[in-house]
Amino acid sequence: MYISNYRRKCEAVFLFFLLFLIACAFRLIYIQVFRSNYLGDIGKKQHNLFAEIEPFRGIIYDCNLKPQTLNLPADSLYADPNMMSSKEKEKAILQLSGILNLNQDYLRSRLYRKKAFIWIKRKISPAEAEAVKKSKIKNLGFVRESKRSYPNTYLASQIIGFAGLDNTGLEGIELYLDQYLRGSPGWGIFLRDARQSKLDIYEKMVLPKDGMDIILTIDQVVQYIAERELEKAYKAYHAKGASIIVMDPYTGRILALANRPTYDLNEHKDVSKDQKRNRAICDLFEPGSVFKVVTASAALEEQRLSEEDKIFCENGAYRVANHTLHDHVPHGWLTFREVIEKSSNIGTTKIAQLLGAGIVYKYIRLFGFGSKLGIDLPGEISGMIKEPRFWSKTSIGAIPIGQEVGVTALQLAAALSAIANGGQLMKPYVIEEIRDKQGVVIKRNTPVLIRKVISADTAARVTKMLTGVIEEGTGKMAQIPGLTSAGKTGTAQKLESDGAYSHDKFVASFIGFAPAEEPVVTIIVSIDEPRPYYFGGVVAAPVFKNVAADVVRYLKTKQVLATQMKSNADKRPR
């Protein structure tokens, strides 16, 4: 009896284990056959981590191949919330908020997500990265990325612009040519151990394609000179804003372009729209007397007057329809040449009346006003020019002297360059070349003629008049010792909100080129609301003088050195 019971018990135990073994076998077969893909994916997710590999953004250079942008290595911090306990998360929130200067609610909202990968903070400083590592918080990791840096800080800020955290262009050239600069990202799947620590072993990888490099027409030295002198005037006259453009009159290449106020490209987070705005191409203003150059050119080109023809300037007061026009200094009889030299409003208006509205408008348009010039920068505007059919009875006394029209500094630079180069309106540009990382030129800009505006003879005759403006007229403060130059002053009243002209808000400007006989550069200086002085000949002309003197000297020296280097290279044995 005892043996029988013992045998039944053994058989029962054996049968139990046999059934358990069969069940395990079926379960194992089920897992291996029917659940293998699902469980394999879970395993891969635990031990493999997909990561996008960021390309290096292309470098922006000046015309001398001096880098205006850099890509610096930076660590970006991430976390794996799925592997963190609530206690670990709260510890991380408390410590990281102090180290990274982040709001605790922000950290809590990220760390309590049901995800295997979340960014904590991108592109942190080396000190922050070191502090995070010392904290020894579990399930945090770093990804090495690149951070855009601007070595010249404020220099050419509205031209270069900046890129955001994800290295996407947001302003200036960084935005305009983002498709070339940003490159194409790659990707990699790297392995993790059982503790979820990243191993430097990639299972699969596709390498990123780095962005292309941009060569500007901007010369870093010329840009510095222009910004230095503009900054002096901007601060000395407590101006609301200011712009300067330095341009090669024969090609349209922009050698320097600057605005005030400006900003540090490395500290762009809290910068206002006013600081970012490229005033030289997107701000509209009435040019004032600098616009008289157009009327003078039209009169000579149409052969209506010669330089010594005399015009009676009404002793300072002249009635045009229901408006009385005044000169800042009363004049009697002046020659045509003297009208321009002394900037007589009345003399210029009488010349315009002789020409007629149609011809004046024709030359305004020929010189490029009222339309975009096509510069390769974002934000250019076309200005504002009325057709003659919309002119009032007083317009013939306003438009020729730079009122009732809206222009940009860029348009003035291009128009004056047409006089400096013998009558050709050139398309301005700031991009010289686009190259890939192997140095292959993808795109190259060359000078583009927009149209012939006036004859070379007319341009030479206007140049002599503008030389007289500096030597004998309103632009004496633009005189450069040992160097002849040509230019025109401008002082324009700004419009108030009610449409009336202000008596205490002005735009002071000066346009000129040097040397007068063989121009190297055209320069436009515009100062918005200078105080207490506001005349263009006082405020803007000295800026032209200082910039032109230094830039012409620098460019000639640069040309001599380039010639010597070429000569030495030719003499070397081959």
pTM, 2 dp: 0.84
| Distance in angstroms (rounded) separating the CA atoms of residues 144 and 128 | 14
Domain 220-265+278-563: give its CATH code: 3.40.710.10
For the segment 64-121, what is each residue's pLDDT rounded down to a tens digit?
A: 999 999 998 888 888 888 888 888 888 888 888 888 888 888 888 888 888 878 888 8
Q: Which pLDDT score, from 0 to 100, does residue 285 have? A: 94
Query: Among 198-202, 249-253, 415-419, 530-534, which stretch is predicted with the lowest mean pLDDT?
Result: 198-202
CB 411 within 8 A of CB 279: no
Residue 527's closest CA among 512, 546, 511? 511
Query: Among 60-69, 199-208, 243-252, 480-489, which stretch is predicted with the lowest mean pLDDT?
Result: 199-208
**Per-residue confidence at 48, pLDDT binned at 50, 70, 90?**
low
Write out the DSSP string of 226-283.
HHHHHHHHHHHTT-SEEEEEEE-TTT-BEEEEEEES---TTS-TT--HHHH--HHHH-
For the segment 494-505, what is each residue's pLDDT rounded down to a tens digit?
A: 988 887 888 889
Establish whether 289 is a catalytic residue: yes
List the structure tokens of 109: 């909202």
DSSP state of 162: -
60-61 and 213-216 strand pairing = parallel
CB 489 within 8 A of CB 540: yes
Q: Which pLDDT score, from 0 to 100, does residue 41 have? A: 55
In this predicted model, which residue has the larger pLDDT, 97 or 464? 464
Residue 59's closest CA among 433, 357, 382, 317? 433
**Per-residue confidence at 50, pLDDT binned at 50, 70, 90?**
low
Q: Indicate where the chain has its CATH 3.90.1310.10 domain(s).
A: 49-214
Q: Indicate where the chain has its CATH 3.40.710.10 domain(s).
A: 220-265+278-563
For the segment 221-268, what is each residue's pLDDT rounded down to a tens digit?
A: 999 999 999 999 999 999 999 999 999 999 999 999 999 999 999 988
Q: Which pLDDT score, from 0 to 100, does residue 201 have? A: 45
Q: Which pLDDT score, from 0 to 100, does residue 34 have? A: 64
**Per-residue confidence at 463, pLDDT binned at 50, 70, 90?**
very high
For the segment 273-283, what is each residue's pLDDT rounded down to a tens digit?
A: 999 999 999 99
Q: Which pLDDT score, from 0 to 100, does residue 351 have? A: 96
CB 120 within 8 A of CB 79: yes
List the structure tokens of 145: 């990325």
Candidates 76, 157, 243, 289; catalytic one: 289
For the segment 119-171, what is each residue's pLDDT rounded down to a tens digit?
A: 888 888 888 888 888 888 888 888 778 889 999 999 999 999 999 878 889 99
Q: Which pLDDT score, from 0 to 100, does residue 209 have? A: 87
CATH 3.90.1310.10 fits 49-214, yes or no: yes
For the segment 3-36, what is each residue's pLDDT rounded down to a tens digit?
A: 667 777 777 777 777 778 887 777 777 667 666 6
List the structure tokens of 151: 């070595």
* Tokens 């009697």 found at: 332
Please count the residues of the chain. 574
Average pLDDT, the chain: 88
Give 177's contacts (C-beta < 8 A, 6+ positions apart): 169, 214, 431, 434
Maximum separation of any 2 CA atoms in the chain, in Å: 150
In this predicted model, which residue has the larger pLDDT, 551 or 322? 551
Cα dihedral sign, 165-166-169-174 = positive
Q: Which pLDDT score, from 0 to 100, does residue 190 have? A: 60
Q: Which helix (H) or strand (E) holds 312?
A: strand 310-312
**Per-residue confidence at 51, pLDDT binned at 50, 70, 90?**
low
In this predicted model, which residue has the larger pLDDT, 211 or 117? 211
In this predicted model, which residue has the larger pLDDT, 191 or 375? 375
For the segment 324-368, what is each residue's pLDDT rounded down to a tens digit?
A: 999 989 999 999 999 999 999 999 999 999 999 999 999 999 999
Report whether pLDDT(199) > 50.
no
Write out the DSSP string of 367-410.
TTTTS----SSTT----B---GGG--TTGGGTGGGT-S-BB-HH
List the structure tokens of 552: 């012409």
